[in-house]
Structures are given as structure tokens and as C-alpha cells.
Amino acid sequence: MDNRLPPMRCRGSLFKWGERTFVMGIINLSPDSFSGDGLSSTDAAVEQAKRFVEEGADFIDVGGESTRPDSNPVTLEEEIARVVPAISRLRDEIKVPISIDSYKYEVVRQAVAAGADIINDVWGLKKDSRLACLAAERNLPIILASNQRDRPCEGDILPEIIADLKRAIGMCKDVGVFRDNIIVDPGIGFGKTREQNLEIVRRLAELRVLGKPILLGTSRKSFIGLTLDLPAGERLEGTAATNAIGIANGADIIRVHDVRFMTRLARMSDAITRR
């Protein structure tokens, strides 16, 4: 029996889920980045994105606001000023799809106008449901993350995530988002404890009940640092372990800072786990 999901078309490419793991490279235009990879200029963002594509990235994810729990708020104007010029430049210089990492409607709207192909909403439509309408109107893929920062889960985290993602998927369906344009993300680090994050990676395959491609974003996150007692810049091996196990448990996309290393890891993991 073939359990592969229907493919997704984006920016002239066909993403056939199940054939291999796809890699999303992170472009962080925030100096407040938790991982120390924040870029301060459009030129730096373009240079890094082009290098990521050469190293194997299938997607480039551009964000302008830190999402760590104690981060400083960024004004709408500042976030737009950070991400829109970079996306506009990148659209002319790289061929892979570009996602905009924001939950703010106006930031996303202007990013899409500048050339972004995918909406990456870390709040799963809890902050602004209009992002689903925009995805439907423009026929864009949307990544829906499960975020528990507004209501931490004290019980079994997987049923909570599945219920939350079903809510967001339902909202997308209600406004006409194409069913094959929805990607789910368990939201590693967003309102979860260290133990819950480890449990999510271990039980990632349970998200298959949603019938959507799964994005896993563990790169350099604090649960790795807490487990290994290491700062963000020394979490490469820990990130590798989470991605390898995540791929074995059904991840379709891994979102990473270290593209060359994680692309090689994904290819080897695929060779072992995929037929």
C-alpha cells in the first residue's frame, strides 16, 4: 500500500513527499536571534541564502523577528524593513521557494507581494486568521505550527498538538486553502518543556493521522542545550540526532541553520529509512 501524500507544487517545482527529506535553510534578519545567527543587512541575507542553495537547501525561510520566549518585540515597520527588501532581492537571485516566517498579516502580505512563495505561521492562525485567507487567495502553501505559549499543556503533549493542528487545518479548509498546500509543524520549543520536546521527536509519526506533510524545526533549540548543557553555537550534534530520528519517524522537511551538514545527514537518513 502506498501511503505517500499528494505532491505539492510551488514556484515551478513539484515536491513529492515520501521520496526524500527536504531541507529548509533559515535566514534570520534579527540581531536578537537565540542562536547567534542574526544577520544585519540584505546583502548578508542574499549571500547566505545563495550559499544555502548551493549546499542543498530546497527552501529558504526568511524571518525578521526573534521567536525566543524572552525576545524583544519588533514593530511592524521594522520587521517589514528587514524582510521585504531581502525577499525582493532573493526572488531574482535564487530559484528555490522562499517562505516568510511571520504571524503578522501585513508583514506577510508585503512579503508575498515581494516574492515570498510560502507562509510560515508559528502561531498556527491563533494570532491572525487572515493568513489563511491570504494563502487561499494567492494559492500559496502555508505551514501551520502548534504553539502552546498561550496555554501550556500539562498532560500528554501529542494529543494536544494534534487537536491544535486540526483546528488550524479546519480554518484553512473553511476559507478555501487548497488541501495539498497545508504543511504541519509540531512547534518544537513553542511553549513545551524539555521533556515534551523530546517526546514529540520520539512520537513524531503520530502526526501522520493529520494527512499532511510534517516540518520539524529543532535546530539549535534550547531543549538540546538543556539536555547536553551546551550553548546554542555548540548544538550541531544534538540537532543532528533530533533530525535523524525525526526523519526516521516521518519528517518531510527539516528546518535548519547548518544546511551543508544537515543535507548530508538527511541524505544518509533517507538511504536507511526510505525505500
How far apart CA 147 and CA 53 sit, in angstroms, is 29
pLDDT computed for residue 255 by the predictor: 98
Contacts of 43 (CB under 8 A, 6+ apart): none
Query: For the packed helices 259-273 and 42-55, what is the interaxial angle rounded to 10 degrees?
Result: 30
Q: What is the pTM of this model?
A: 0.95
Query: For the packed helices 236-248 and 194-202, what is the interaxial angle rounded to 10 degrees?
Result: 40
pLDDT computed for residue 67 by the predictor: 76
Asked if residue 185 lies in contact with residue 216, where contact means CB atoms within 8 angstroms, the answer is yes
pLDDT computed for residue 34 by the predictor: 54
pLDDT computed for residue 151 by the predictor: 94
How far apart CA 249 and CA 252 sit, in angstroms, is 10
pLDDT computed for residue 1 by the predictor: 34
Q: Which of 135, 44, 143, 47 is nearest to 94 (CA)?
A: 47
pLDDT computed for residue 33 by the predictor: 54
pLDDT computed for residue 31 by the predictor: 77
Q: Which three cell numbers stand for residue 6?
A: 499528494
Q: Which of 184, 185, 188 is nearest to 212 (CA)?
A: 184
Which pairing describes strands 13-15 and 8-10: parallel, antiparallel, or unpaired? antiparallel
How far apart CA 140 and CA 9 sit, in angstroms, is 9
Residue-level pLDDT, tens digit, the chain, 275 residues? 346 899 999 999 999 999 999 999 999 998 765 555 668 799 999 999 999 999 999 999 999 998 777 777 889 999 999 999 999 999 999 999 999 999 999 999 999 999 999 999 999 999 999 999 999 999 999 999 999 999 999 999 999 999 999 999 999 999 999 999 999 999 999 999 999 999 999 999 999 999 999 999 999 999 999 999 999 999 999 999 999 999 999 999 999 999 999 999 999 999 999 97
Asked if residue 249 lies in contact with residue 202, where contact means CB atoms within 8 angstroms, the answer is yes
**CATH class of domain segment(s) 21-270:** alpha beta
Residues recognised as catalytic: 221, 255
DSSP string, 74-122: --HHHHHHHHHHHHHHHHHH--S-EEEE---HHHHHHHHHHT--EEEET
